[in-house]
Amino acid sequence: MVEVRAERASKPLPSSVTIYEVGPRDGLQNEKAVVATEDKAEFVRRLVTAGLPVVEATSFVHPKWVPQLADAADLMTMLGEEGRAHPVLVPNERGLDRALELGMKHIAIFGSATETFAQKNLNRSLDEQFAMFEPTVARARAAGLDVRAYVSMCFGDPWEGAVPVDQVVSVGKRLFDLGASELSLGDTIGVGTAGHVKDLVHAFVGAGMRTDQLAMHFHDTYGQALANAFSALQEGITTFDASAGGLGGCPYAKSATGNLATEDLVWMLTGLGIEHGVDLDAVVETSVWMAGRLGRPSPSAVVRALAG
Ligand code: HMG
Ligand code: MG
């Protein structure tokens, strides 16, 4: 591959990026096949070994809502001490209790920028979601945990259509201000485009947030995820969520497909000379192995190209 250094791009790009791996959580939550707990543990361990600095492992949500991750406690027990460093999704105080029992150190709450998705994903109205998150974050912080906040449907919603930037900023800031250290902006159904990404990042910065407090979470439904990541890089964003092999989706938003593939992101960052610390071959090997467990090929173009 020809390496085009970042300095030669039209705008200076960050010199290094953190990849927040969501494959074991976002990737597996939507799969028809239920993956064995041992294989999930192996997946997490392989991703860590491949150099991914953060691996979101599972969700402490209601097991009936997401049966694929109903083994969250077993998985974390299996991972033992090393597993406690991995973030897990927690929607409420019941989820927090479960995470605290296992000694977890990082949780992620997940709010919605729209009324309809709040109802469908959390069984709460847009306002009610804050009443659920507020005591959850307060107790987590008091117990010394780090909290990430997600905001979903930032670029469009399958039921409500376009979502005004002001609405996303207002909900996102409110979630962040509960006591989070990072806010991840989710394009849950993958409809965002590069200019929209710039507008949203500008709006958050205009509302007082720093780019190092923001992460981008792109799904690739319309094939825009990588272009959107590049656009965000140009705005100074340095944390990107991605999923090994491009697995992913949300069971409560049918139009949500796979996440930005970790391998596709790594390929682009390497080409730009941006540090990421990830061993591409090891992630590809892991995705091919997981594709075998799931019984379907990886949707990632880079995995297909390199695995052949
Ligand atoms: P609810 O039914 O309203 O819950 O669900 P509730 O508070 O009324 O409680 C009902 C019962 O559930 C109670 O038990 C609770 O104890 C129990 P009972 O007293 O009847 O025996 N319960 C729980 N049990 C285990 N763990 C829990 C828990 N909470 C309550 N945490 C709830 C509300 C939020 C729990 C439910 O809607 C839920 O679990 N939703 C999760 C949906 C989900 O995981 N979606 C996918 C993740 S979001 C995503 O993918 C987007 C993202 O990737 C970013 C992007 O792409 O944009 C992050
Ligand atoms: Mg997602």
Give the active site residue among 41, 215, 250, 269: 250
What does the pLDDT look like over 63-96, one tens digit per residue? Answer: 999 999 999 999 999 999 999 999 999 999 999 9
Specify the DSSP class assigned to residue 68.
G
Amino acid 64: pLDDT: 96
Based on the number of CB atoms within 10 Å of its own CB, is 13 exposed (0-12), middle (13-18) or buried (19 or more)?
A: buried
Residues 6+ apart with CB under 8 A from 223: none
Is residue 250 part of the annotated active site? The answer reads: yes
Amino acid 32: pLDDT: 87
> Strand, helix or coil at 76?
helix
What does the pLDDT look like over 170-195, one tens digit per residue? Answer: 999 999 999 999 999 999 999 999 99
Ligand 1 within 6 A of 71 CB?
no
Mean pLDDT across 201-227: 97
Ligand 1 within 6 A of 170 CB?
no
Ligand 1 atom index nearest CA of 92: 31
pLDDT above 90 for 252: no
Mean pLDDT across 49-54: 98
Ligand 1 atom index nearest CA of 153: 57
Mean pLDDT across 10-35: 92
Amino acid 9: pLDDT: 45
pLDDT above 80 for 250: no
Domain boundaries, the chain: 18-307
Report in angstroms the alpha-carbon separations of 153 from 51, 120, 192, 275, 308.
30, 12, 10, 29, 35
Q: Quick one: pLDDT band at residue 10, thresholds 50, 70, 90?
A: low
Q: Quick one: pLDDT band at residue 7, thresholds 50, 70, 90?
A: very low
| Cα atoms found within 13 Å of the Cα of residue 42, Cβ hemisphere only | 11
Residue 270 CA to ligand 2 centre (angstroms): 24
> Strand, helix or coil at 272?
coil
Amino acid 6: pLDDT: 44
Q: Ligand nearest 59 Cα, by number?
A: 1
Q: Quick one: pLDDT band at residue 292, thresholds 50, 70, 90?
A: very high
Q: Quick one: pLDDT band at residue 255, thresholds 50, 70, 90?
A: low
Q: Ligand nearest 70 Cα, by number?
A: 1
CA dist., res. 131 & res. 126, Å (int): 10
The residue whose CB lies within 8 Å of the most ligand 1 atoms, and thus the one to mutate among 29, 74, 94, is 94
Residue nearest to atom 25 of ligand 1 (CA): 62
Residue 208 CA to ligand 2 centre (angstroms): 25
Residue 276 CA to ligand 1 centre (angstroms): 33
Alpha carbon 53 to its chain's center:
13
Q: Quick one: pLDDT band at residue 273, thresholds 50, 70, 90?
A: very high
Amino acid 61: pLDDT: 98
pLDDT above 90 for 33: no
Residue 45 CA to ligand 1 centre (angstroms): 26
Report the CATH fold assignment for 18-307.
TIM Barrel (3.20.20)
Ligand 1 within 6 A of 75 CB?
no
Mean pLDDT across 200-208: 98
What does the pLDDT look like over 112-157, one tens digit per residue? Answer: 999 999 999 999 999 999 999 999 999 999 999 999 999 999 999 9
Residue 188 CA to ligand 2 centre (angstroms): 5
What does the pLDDT look like over 217-240, one tens digit per residue? Answer: 999 999 999 999 999 999 999 999
Based on the number of CB atoms within 10 Å of its own CB, is 141 exposed (0-12), middle (13-18) or buried (19 or more)?
A: middle
